Amino acid sequence: MMRIDVLTLFPEMFESPLSHSILKRARQRDIVQIVLSNIRQFATDAYRKVDDKPYGGGAGMVMMCPPVFACVEHVRAEAPEPGRVILLTPQGAPLTQAKVVELSREPRLILIAGRYEGFDERIREGLDAEEISIGDYVLSGGELAAMVVIDAVVRLLDGALGDEDSAAQDSFSDGLLEYPHYTRPEVFRGMRVPEILLSGDHGKIAQWRMEQSLRRTQQRRPDLYAAWLARRQAENKIPQNDKKQEIET
Ligand code: 9D3
């Protein structure tokens, strides 16, 4: 079972996301153990202080070392694996599915969500932590980012997904966006389901879906499209893979 420790000033923020759907089921099935710790409980002074003014001056407050180190040391004593320490920060490396896959292979993660302007740099240095960002936009703290990491990682763990879901079938597994989906009714407010999907011709349907995936990826994510093209070209240089399928877009 994987263990994920979450160190935060707002453990209550995690309760609802961890109590629904895939995360709920994964915890019930002992696929993952998620332990929330409140950094404030490890404050070393009488006022429960966890932040202080930056040396050198400037706006905002900085998360202090002593409570964070004490909290990490406390959770580390609860299980034998030291755990890989991850700070959620806007300066971190952007989260990708490749990073998620890598994290899903660890026995233990220690995620630290910050508030205020950021962490004292000695937290990263002293805990040999890596920093992860979930994208180029401004959040109010690291909690939602930690939840994104947890959700993306846990659904990859063995047994976390139901039968109908499959991690292998996901968008990003082949580097293209998904084709459009439809379900009943056949006509809704004058909008028809594409005729081909009603034809029963599975070959034609597969071809249509591939074309739609390619078109959408080209239009919405030129970065992914370029990477897909480059990968396909590289693969086509291998003789065994020579039977190339031409797809018109
Ligand atoms: C003066 C600049 N600061 C405020 C605009 C910088 C700043 C500090 C702390 C901006 C955001 C935050 C809180 N964000 C996170 O802790 C965070 C985050 C994010 O904001 N975006 C994407 N990923 C992440 S991971 C953690």
- Give 16-55 pLDDT, tens digit per residue: 999 999 999 999 999 999 999 999 999 999 999 999 999 9
Average pLDDT, the chain: 93
132 pLDDT above the threshold of 80: yes
Domain 171-234: give its CATH superfamily. Answer: tRNA(m1g37)methyltransferase, domain 2 (1.10.1270.20)
Q: For position 162, what pLDDT does the model report?
A: 83
- Does 90 participate in catalysis according to the annotation? yes
Domain 2-154: give its CATH superfamily. Answer: SPOUT methyltransferase, trefoil knot domain (3.40.1280.10)
Q: Which residues contact 57 (CB under 8 A, 6 or more apart)?
A: none
Q: What is the DSSP letter of 64?
A: -
Q: For position 241, what pLDDT does the model report?
A: 46
Give pLDDT tens digits for 207-240: 999 999 999 999 999 999 999 999 999 999 765 5
Q: Is 94's C-beta closer than 6 angstroms to any atom of ligand 1?
A: no
**Gyration radius of the chain over CA positions:** 23
Closest CA to 18 of 9, 110, 5: 5
- Does 185 participate in catalysis according to the annotation? no
The residue with greater pLDDT, 241 or 29, is 29
141 pLDDT above the threshold of 60: yes
Closest CA to 19 of 164, 150, 159, 153: 150
115 pLDDT above the threshold of 60: yes
Residue 232's identity, in one-letter code, is R
Q: For position 166, what pLDDT does the model report?
A: 65
Centre of ligand 1 to C-alpha 117, Å, is 7
Which of 89, 111, 115 has most ligand 1 atoms within 8 Å of CB, for mutation?
Answer: 89
Half-sphere CA count of 1, side-chain side, radius 13 A: 15
